Chain A
């Protein structure tokens, strides 16, 4: 199995790992990073040096492509695509939401749906639903940007066991409890990007590294307004 450099800068948590097959050579997770710009590259450098390797010894790059903070996502994607291009390595991209589900499943396995939540402001979230099936494969319900209220209604209608995950869950606790009743406890979520190692497979391979861009899941505000204007419609962002 390949020697992979894995990185995720989509939320306030920075994760960088170096894996070889299913062995974690080095991993660093930093919570509450205000500024991925200052920490991502030094962390990559540290992880590679800790494993006594050089950049040229890498065999693949895995990156969380979003959704999440626009700036954070762009920093990770830019570093990953530049490294993959210049070192001529395969690039693998994984949804940041699936990354959260993989992290959770590794630490606290759950047979129901994992619901990763990333706050997207104005009571909207980036979210999805992921479930690991008995045969070990994953099923998902598609990443989306959605009003949290609507999302709660959809999940309620689904009427299946669910678990909300992510550092932003406490922000929505009151609303969740209003629909699903009191949560027994809010487990501390922790991101472990070494659990993204399964992303280093053909299913996640980026075809053209040059063309690789983040998965924003949302147009820039100016573009939403512009498109609404072009349609002569109502502007609601």
Chain B
């Protein structure tokens, strides 16, 4: 070769904002892969007293924190506006009142500094959180599991999303929280169930919702009801309930379905690269089962570090970079879309 190619490319720096639920977050991300600064303000302490996220309270807290959080992200990065190329923000899905706060801060900033505004799908963000750790290899399957989402997504190229399976009722994290509440665990219940399950055995018989033959969709509300009914029956008969075994039985039922459907998706699309994202990716039981799947199938599995699994703006900056490169832009009339469809977001 010998010839020196000009590979010098302008860095793309994105300020990203995420307020879809109960975290107020902002980040500075370079080229979609390098996290320069990251600020996450969690409201969980405030919502705990209600046993779950209260949308109106979440929206109020976002207004209190939004400019503090953005300012800190910019200051931590030691960047000024001349070095920032675009503003990316979560457009949806999420709580509409919460989304609107981040979106309007983003619009005001894009307008004030005359920068492009990049609307980002929250789930695209969860998937691209991985790009901050290692390059994504296409095609890939993404399993997104959180308090609000349970989805299998096929990506044949950057910015291309095809939802091939999704929950028809409760998200997996939602089922965890509801079962945890029944077991008198504090909110959020997922980590508590995971912890309890490790100490117990799956001795209770609980259903697995496979749905119709070949479907990659999920359903967790039946399982949640089965746990509640079973506990109710045992209580009526004055039989002792082992919380550890109940948690283990519930977790086994959830993981059986998640793992089997994920395995089917990998086979059907002949994909060897699995990305797991969302808050439930922190679940140790799930991680152990994924490890077995990896050995059994000889595939590559990427799970972002915990701080990038829960809701955060860094992932929005990573996904926003791909959208930016694909020419995605929003106008000042951009609205929050609480039910934004991932397929429609493909660029």
Contact = CB atoms under 8 A, between A and B. Distances in A.
A and B associate in one complex: yes
Interface of A: 35, 37-42, 44-45, 54-56, 70-71, 74-75, 77-79, 81-83, 85-87, 209-211, 213-214, 216, 220-223, 226
Contact of A41 (B71, B113, B332, B336): B332
Contacts of B71: 85, 210
B67 A79 contact: no
Contacts of A54: 114
Given A41-B108, A86-B109, A226 B56 contact: no
A78 B111 contact: no
B335 interface: yes
A61 B252 CA distance: 56
Contacts of B107: 41, 79
B57 A220 contact: yes
A45 B111 CA distance: 8
Contact of B331 (A42, A81, A220): A42
B56 A222 contact: yes
A214 B63 CA distance: 8
Given A78-B105, A86-B109, A38 B56 contact: no
A59 to B, nearest CB: 14
Given A42-B331, A86-B113, A74 B97 contact: yes
Nearest to B101: A78
A223 B108 contact: no
B112 interface: yes
Given A37-B104, A82-B66, A87 B111 contact: no
A71 B97 contact: yes
Interface of B: 49-50, 54, 56-57, 59-60, 63-64, 66-68, 70-71, 96-97, 100-101, 103-105, 107-109, 111-114, 331-333, 335-336
Contact of B112 (A75, A78, A87): A87
A221 to B, nearest CB: 7
B327 to A, nearest CB: 21
Contacts of A45: 111, 332
Q: Is the interface of B mostly helix, strand, loop or mixed?
A: helix
A220 B56 contact: yes
Nearest to B336: A37
Contacts of B114: 54-55
Contacts of B64: 211, 213
List 5 A-B pairs, minimum CB-CB distance, nearest first: A82-B108, A41-B332, A220-B56, A78-B104, A222-B54
B108 A79 contact: yes
A221 B50 CA distance: 11
Contacts of A39: 333
A81 B111 CA distance: 14
A210 B68 contact: yes
Given A42-B331, A220-B54, 14 more contacts: A37-B335, A41-B107, A41-B333, A54-B114, A70-B59, A74-B101, A75-B104, A82-B105, A82-B112, A83-B108, A86-B112, A209-B67, A220-B60, A222-B54
A85 B63 contact: no
B331 A213 contact: no
A3 to B, nearest CB: 15
Contacts of A220: 54, 56-57, 60
**Which of A71, A211, A216 has the most CB atoms of chain B within a 10 A radius of its CB?**
A71
Contacts of B54: 220, 222-223
Nearest to B102: A78
Nearest to B52: A222
B66 A42 contact: no
Given A79-B108, A220-B54, A226-B49, A210 B67 contact: yes
A79 B50 contact: no
A210 B96 CA distance: 22
19 contacts: A37-B336, A38-B333, A38-B335, A39-B333, A40-B104, A41-B104, A41-B332, A44-B111, A54-B114, A78-B101, A78-B108, A82-B104, A82-B109, A86-B112, A87-B112, A210-B67, A213-B60, A221-B56, A226-B49
B57 to A, nearest CB: 5
Contact of A223 (B57, B96, B100): B57
Contacts of B70: 82
Contacts of A75: 100, 104
B50 A226 contact: yes
Contacts of B68: 210
B272 to A, nearest CB: 42
A50 B249 CA distance: 65
Contacts of B50: 222, 226
Given A213-B60, A220-B60, A222-B57, A41 B97 contact: no
A211 B65 CA distance: 8
A204 B104 CA distance: 23
A192 to B, nearest CB: 23
B103 A37 contact: yes
